[in-house]
Structure 1
Amino acid sequence: MKSFNICLLLLLLTTSASLFAQEVDTIPIDTKGLEIKLKRSPLPTRSGSLVFKPVQIAPITINEKVNYWKTNTAIGIDVNQGAFSKNWKAGGVNSMAIGGMINYRAAYAKESYSYTSDLRLEYGKIKNKEQLPKKTKDRLFWDHKAGLQLSKSWFFFGSVTLETQFDRGYAYYRDSENKERDQLISKFFSPAYLTESIGFEYKPVAYFSTRLGTGTAKQTFVTDMDALIDADTARNHKVTKTEFYGVPKDKNFRNELAFQITSTFGEKQIAKNLFLYARYNMFIPYDRPLVHVDHRLDVTLKAKVNRFMNVQINGVGIFDKDSDNEVQASQNLSMGIAFSLPR
């Protein structure tokens, strides 16, 4: 009996497993033409219209304005120092030099109107042992230009430029006793140049432009003529010059009308960490175009050592018969700390 019950239990388990394992087949039925009606639900339902109430949402105001101005300020300081003991066999002289520069540029552009202001301040001095202190650089340059765009690359412009120096300038010489002496040859606003110009500007790219100043006027100022005359008299024992920087010695001002060409190559990266700035100016007076043409070329090559250190070389070439009959040239190499705002 016990064996029979066990056999029956195994048979039931086998049958149940086969039932659970059986797949359920789905047979599709074509309901086309059949009248099939859904039975109405016996549960009560609510009917009616939905009422939407508008909600007032306060607009969000963003307090932002379009800034058409772009400004940049570059500041640099360089220091050079050398010291030698009295028994230094290689020779040398104790010296100390310091220089600094500030370049500020502001630019405005909206639609076809533009305005730029470029300010460049440079000053440096060196003092060698048992020698008079001397300047290494000294310049105040301020250029303003407003433009109206005529086409893709041509503008009508008007500009005002001021250029002078900060400190007194001297020429150095040795007297009969071989002592170093100095003679005053220039000072602040003696001379100074104020130039107004209108004309057309060609600007094919953002970093290069050429101005054709068909209507240009330049005023040369020598505000302290007496100081220059006294210095010349002290050295030569008599006044030999009839004019200083093109200004007659009995006046302090001279005006000229001219045609002017000014080409500017903005501070452009020409290689990795290497930047170039150049500015050329040619001034042709209308009253003496064949015998007197002024030229000035400024070139600055700057290499960035790291984020705050630069190596910079500046070169200036000037040919102005009112100042000297030969080409004047200056060169300055410096390494120092420099940074720009905004960075």
Structure 2
Amino acid sequence: MVIKSVPQLICSILLLSGLSASAQKTDTAKRDSIKTDTTLLNKLRIDPGKNELPVRVRQIQITPITIPVTLPDYQFSYWHKWTVFNINFNQSGFTKNWTGGGASNLALNVNYDFKAEYNKSPLDYTTEVNLLYGTSKIKGEGLRKTNDRIFYDNKLATQLSKHWLFFGSLTFESQFDNGYTYQDPLPPLLISKFMSPGYLTESAGVEYRPNKWFDLRLGAATARQTFVLDTTIYHNQSDNYGVTPDKTIFNQIAFQGVATVDKDLMPNLHITARYALFIPYTQSLAYISHRIDATLTAKVNKLIAVTVNGSFLYDKNTAPQAQGTEGMGLGMIYKFP
């Protein structure tokens, strides 16, 4: 634009001033608007630091408190006890006109076992009682004894290692009732009675016990006394069960081995067996004696059981040949615990 006169110059200056003022007003308005928006935002802004929950940190103090504890009133016992009582009946009957023949009979067998063990390391004490008696009544023949035994064993042992112990034992054996031999038509002959014979055995040695159901004693220092208090009894041996005639006692020094088994073969089948070996130092090897006693019990239920028992004995001081007895019966059995 070409300014030709002073009035035009003045008009141009005024126009430019107006435009500049307008532009300044516009800029000021914009700045005020931005300032207003910023202030509003600052007012609406949420400061998270001012709205957090207060956190208080306290030092943990642990104070021990003694709480009284009442223990159950249990009593511990080093004793363990077992009791088994068994009674068996056998009966058979025939009418007078039974052409098959036979004689009515009734048999009764009673077996009592008691065992107690005291076990407090290193000591172990065991006592065992076995009482057996049986009788039968046959028509026309009266009562006859079928079983008869008294067995009492005591053992004190001390631990040497895990499976080996040193032991000392005392054992007594005899019978309750008179024993007869029957040879018809001759009258019965008395051959044994209580303490005729009777045996008292003392033994010391080592014991091997690998588990709970097997036990083996080896008694190198063993003494046995055989008693025959009634020297008038009849027997087949001239030395009277090893006792010199007209005397009542016979002493022997020997080696003794005893092995016992007491085990459940099946849940309802149990076996108890005892083998005794006796080797006298003062007699020949022909006088080595062997005895086996075994009982097999099959339970039908808690109170009913079938029992099979047997004994085998070879002792030249008693008889020149081996001896044996066996029995089987169905009856009641009670075991505690």
**TM-score of the superposed pair, with normalisation by structure 2:** 0.79
Q: Deviations over 1:166-195 (max 9, x none)?
A: 0000000023xxxx6210000011100010
Q: CA deviation at 1:269?
A: 1.1
- For 1:146, the equivalent position in structure 2 comes to 156
Q: CA deviation at 1:132?
A: 3.8
Q: CA RMSD in A?
A: 2.7
Q: 2:255–2:278: 8 Å Cα contact kept in structure 1?
A: yes
Instruction: Specify the SS of the correspondent of 2:109.
Output: strand
Q: CA deviation at 1:275?
A: 1.2
- For 1:326, the equivalent position in structure 2 comes to 321
Q: CA deviation at 1:37?
A: 6.8
Please list every run of 5 or more consecutive structure 2 residues that lacks an aligned counterpart in the other structure: 1-44, 52-62
- For 1:250, the equivalent position in structure 2 comes to 246
- For 1:105, the equivalent position in structure 2 comes to 115
Structure 2 counterpart of 1:91, one-letter code: G
Structure 1 counterpart of 2:268, one-letter code: N
- For 1:275, the equivalent position in structure 2 comes to 270
Distance 2:182 2:48 in 1: 122
Distance 2:324 2:64 in 1: 80
- For 1:287, the equivalent position in structure 2 comes to 282
- For 1:125, the equivalent position in structure 2 comes to 135
Q: Does 2:330 match 1:338? A: no
> Following TM superposition, where does structure 1 have runs of at least 4 consecutive aligned residues deviating by more than 2 angstroms?
34-38, 53-65, 240-243
More helix as a share of residues: 2
Q: 2:237–2:319: 8 Å Cα contact kept in structure 1?
A: no
- Given the superposition, is the C-alpha separation of residues 173 and 197 from structure 1 closer, same or farther in structure 2, using an over 3 Å criterion? same
- For 1:171, the equivalent position in structure 2 comes to 181
Q: CA deviation at 1:243?
A: 2.4
Q: 1:134-283, aligned counterparts within 5 Å?
A: 134-175=144-185, 181-226=187-232, 228=233, 231=234, 242-266=238-262, 268-283=263-278
Larger-Rg structure: 2
Identity of aligned residues (%): 41
Structure 2 counterpart of 1:263, one-letter code: A
Worse-matched range after superposition: 319-328 or 58-67: 58-67
- For 2:31, the equivalent position in structure 1 comes to none
Q: CA deviation at 1:271?
A: 2.4
- For 1:93, the equivalent position in structure 2 comes to 103
**TM-score of the superposed pair, with normalisation by structure 1:** 0.77
Q: CA deviation at 1:200?
A: 0.3
- For 1:17, the equivalent position in structure 2 comes to none
Worse-matched range after superposition: 327-336 or 298-307: 298-307
Q: 2:173–2:198: 8 Å Cα contact kept in structure 1?
A: yes
Q: CA deviation at 1:291?
A: 3.1
Q: 1:24-39, aligned counterparts within 5 Å?
A: none
Distance 1:63 1:108 in 2: 22
Distance 1:167 1:275 in 2: 29
